[in-house]
Amino acid sequence: MTIRARFRPLALTALLALAATGCSSGSGGGSDAGGTLTVWLAVDAQESWPELVQSTNDRFAKAHPGVKVEVQYQQWTTKNQKLDAVLAGKNVPDVVEMGNSETTNYIVNGAFSALDPAGYEQSDAWLPALADACRANGKTYCVPYYVGARVGIYRTDYLAEAGVTGAPKTYPELLSALDRLKATYGAKDPNFSALYLPGRYWYAAMAFVKDAGGEIAVKDGDRWKASLSSPKSVAGLTEWKRLIDTYYVGDRAKDNGDQPGVVAQGRVGVFYGNTWEADSAADPLSGGDPKLKDKFATFPFPGPSGKLLPPFLGGSTLAVPAKSTRKQLAADWIKLFTDRQSQQALIAANTLPNNTAQLAEVAAGGINGPAAQAAATGGWMTPFAPGWTSVEKSNVLPEMLERIANGKASVQDATAEADKRIDEVINER
């Protein structure tokens, strides 16, 4: 290594320090007129509803002339690490989008400031899956933004060829459709999966746990306790494993990260996913096959219990960091971004709204109708426990599922081991 190369970090550090002081003197004014409001949104907004962001900013500019809104788009995978780093300093964003499984840990550690829900349109009808993620000690720390619910998605042409008419409505109907798909296509092609169900796809596996009446973790007093090895949870996972054994031939150690791309290869009959994944599978820009356009249809996925398989209601909320110097402006921006008009724009972009009132307005016959139907059942959420993000980030669930799916451990043993690991961190702040 030359001296030059060693000097470079030093020069960089100096530059960064200069840049940092420059920034903080620029936005640290705190007065309402002028300056910049920094908003961190996940990339979904940039990709799927950029017009909504633009119209919100236009309306905000009318109400607060002179305040510049700077929207910075973040990747889900790196957002929280960046957030931790900036929250440790002084120069923080004024609005941050948070997944509803991420909020609790930040709230209990005092990262966000409390908001008054009464100031937001339709706050009395907010979806519990989002609103509960925002509440702690009787206060509200974030505002529901949107939600997603997984549904069954099938190849219409394959099902027709296999002699199945229409989407399966009950679990036995689903199994018989899968049997027919397997008989029609699986016999010819050893790589054909009637049902695409990779082992690490934990949102799918946990839906079976919930369907069987099991839980990931339960609250006992003010402490959380993992409950994956309870008889009901084990029953749900056993049925999930049976589906994999019977209808899935792919790599069991995979997760659903590249699901649309795999489905686009044409060797999958039915899969469990978000509505947009069907669009991606037919979109050449995201690795899909354009020939598959209009060959997918969605249906509410029936569960073994006889009811709909309760979907994970993964969604987003918007929070104002406690260190923000422009909290009132931030709250005003969120109000506009989540009001009735904005939520309608979200529905138009094939996304589910943050409240039950508008959920009923999603066209039942549309591509997102089944998702709205599934969301209306209440769905399920990851435990609102202080240490839940640690459980997620240390991959306890995917590792447990991989062990079960690959037969490295029995359902009973793998869940007992996972419960132990979850109990170690779930109550830690």
Partner 1 sequence: MSADRRGRRRHRLLPYLLIGPTVLALVLVLGYPLVDMVVLAFQDMTREQLFSGSSPPWAGLDQFRRILGDGFFWTVVARTVVFTAVCVALTVLCGLFTAQLMHRVSPWVRATIAGMLVTVWAMPVMVASSIFRWLFDADYGVVNWLLSRLPGVEMSRHNWFTDPWQGFAVIVAVVVWGSLPFAAITLRAALAQVPPELEESAVLDGARPFQIMRHITLPTIRPVLVMVTTLSAIWDFGVFNQVWMMRGGQPEREYYLLGVYSFIESFAVNRYSVGAAIALVTVVLLLAGSVVHLRQMFRTGEVE
Per CB under 8 A, residues contacting partner 1 are 3, 6-7, 9-10, 13, 77, 81, 84, 87-88, 105-106, 109-111, 191, 250-254, 257, 262, 322-323, 389-390, 393-395, 398-399, 402, 406, 425, 428-429
Tokens 């780093």 sit on residue: 85
Find the shortest distance in angstroms from Cβ 406 to partner 1. 6
Maximum Cα interatomic distance, the chain, rounded to a whole number of Å? 72
Find the shortest distance in angstroms from Cβ 329 to partner 1. 21
Find the shortest distance in angstroms from Cβ 394 to partner 1. 5
Nearest to 270 by CA among 299, 313, 294, 292: 299
Tokens 């990851």 sit on residue: 382
Nearest to 346 by CA among 358, 357, 364, 335: 358
List of residues 6+ apart from 9 with CB closer than 8 A: none
Contact between 211 and 310 under an 8 Å Cβ cutoff? The reply is yes
Tokens 């690959």 sit on residue: 406
What is the spatial distance between Cα 420 and Cα 402, in angstroms, rounded to a whole number?
17
Contact between 231 and 243 under an 8 Å Cβ cutoff? The reply is no
Nearest to 41 by CA among 330, 393, 278: 330
**Smaller CB separation from partner 1, 275 or 390:** 390
Find the shortest distance in angstroms from Cβ 283 to partner 1. 19
**Burial of residue 78, with CB atoms counted within 10 A of its CB: 0-12 exposed, 13-18 middle, 19 or more buried:** exposed
What is the spatial distance between Cα 349 and Cα 52, in angstroms, rounded to a whole number?
10
**Smaller CB separation from partner 1, 60 or 248:** 248
**Smaller CB separation from partner 1, 104 or 123:** 104
How many other CB atoms are found less than 10 A from the CB of residue 176?
A: 13
Find the shortest distance in angstroms from Cβ 254 to partner 1. 7
Find the shortest distance in angstroms from Cβ 16 to partner 1. 12
**Residue type at position 296:** F
Beta bridge partners of 298: 153
**Smaller CB separation from partner 1, 304 or 321:** 321
What is the spatial distance between Cα 393 and Cα 308, in angstroms, rounded to a whole number?
29
**Smaller CB separation from partner 1, 13 or 54:** 13
Find the shortest distance in angstroms from Cβ 173 to partner 1. 30
What is the spatial distance between Cα 321 and Cα 114, in angstroms, rounded to a whole number?
9
Find the shortest distance in angstroms from Cβ 252 to partner 1. 8
Find the shortest distance in angstroms from Cβ 251 to partner 1. 4
**Smaller CB separation from partner 1, 171 or 248:** 248
Q: Virtual CA dihedral for 198, 202, 204, 209, nearest 10 degrees?
A: 130
Beta bridge partners of 39: 71, 95
